A = this chain, B = another copy of it.
Amino acid sequence: MQATACAHSNIALIKYWGNRDHALRLPANPSLSMNLGGLFTRTTVRFRDDLTADQAVVDDQLLHGAALARVSAHLDYARRLAGCTLRAEVISHNNFPAGAGIASSASAFAALSLAAATALGLQLSERELSTYARLGSGSAARSVPNGFVVWHAGSDHASSYAESIAPADHWLLVDLVAIISAAHKAVGSTEGHRLAESSPFQAARVATAPARLAECVQAVLSRDFERLARLVELDSDMMHAVMQTSTPPLLYWLPPTLAVMQRVRALRAEGVGVCYTIDAGANVHCLCLPSAVARVRAELLAIEGVGAVREASTGGGAWLESVQR
């Protein structure tokens, strides 16, 4: 009873921040993302009759305490569905650094969900798998389907799921991630989502998100980069405005973050196909048209404080690598 599954990280074009239900991770607003081909988590789940507790190893580190409990609670959901009481061994690897602006929890919980469900012989639809992944980490719902993905906010567990609006090969975009800081972020997303409501701007952000999302979906479907760029930057700036005006304030940007944002804006003003978006961290995702990649990479590496540039391009949905039952 073992399966190995992989899932890409994803970058939100229209952001998720704040929940209407924290326990179920029902988001305050719908979101839109692009899977990041090349940045993924590979996870093996093996249910064993010789274990008295779940074990999990992430990037060669044994998990303990709250981190292990989060994985174990996630496995419980699949065990309940399968009527199984066996404990499991979980081995997971990210091919990118965790906790620094690239959403490792998204790819990790998407891969874990697919591996656990498969190891237990559950026949989940993509939609069901997406709702399952969401319970572990909201944005993991979006790492299940292919390419460009909308996560419907929904009103209960079954209605809050993600689905593809266009496959990965619809539009090749490149994400050059300017790595500013590999330091683990001070306030994680799960805790941050709880602070969203304390910002005087969260209600306006949530109320206007569906309209931004609808326009951004159109920009993706019509491959209109200029329109996409404007919306993606506005939505990122709006999320960070909410973060920065919450109580306590969350200021994830570092000085080089701002330098990259300004360089990206200046490049686009020159006609270079690039825009920025920033998750709950200091790194800057620079979405590029393929024609702009070489120029943008060189420009990013020339900015003081940018330690490295990581590259990904539009990626597919979660996939199974092996099954032994």
A237 within 8 A of B: yes
Which of B233, B238, B245, B258 touches A258 (beta carbons < 8 Å)?
Answer: B258
What is the count of identical protomers in the complex? 2
B258 touching A200 by the CB < 8 A rule?
no
Residue of A205, A237, A259 with most chain B CB atoms under a 10 A cut-off: A237
Number of residues on chain A facing chain B (CB within 8 A): 27
Judged by DSSP, the binding face of A is: helix
* A244 interface hit (Cβ, 8 Å): yes
Question: Which residues from chain B contact A241 at a C-beta distance below 8 Å?
Answer: 201, 237, 241, 244-245
Query: Which of B201, B204, B258 touches A253 (beta carbons < 8 Å)?
Result: B258
For residue A256, which residues in chain B have a CB less than 8 angstroms away from its CB? 255
Does A124 lie at the interface of the complex (its beta carbon under 8 Å from any beta carbon of B)?
A: no
Instruction: Provide the residues of chain B in CB contact with A255, threshold 8 Å.
Output: 255-256, 258-259, 305
Give A211-253 interface residues, CB cut-off 8 Å to B.
233-234, 237-238, 241, 244-245, 247, 249, 251, 253
Question: Contact partner of A237 among B208, B234, B238, B244, CB < 8 A?
Answer: B244
Whether, in the assembled complex, A183 has its beta carbon less than 8 Å from a beta carbon of chain B, the answer is no
Q: Say yes or no for A261: interface residue by CB 8 A criterion.
A: yes
CB pair B257–A258 under 8 Å, yes or no, is: yes
Q: Which residues of B contact A265 (CB under 8 A)?
A: 251
Residues on A close to B: CB < 8 A? 200-201, 203-205, 208, 233-234, 237-238, 241, 244-245, 247, 249, 251, 253-259, 261-262, 265, 305
Q: List 6 A-B contacts (CB under 8 A).
A: A201-B204, A237-B241, A241-B241, A251-B258, A251-B265, A257-B258
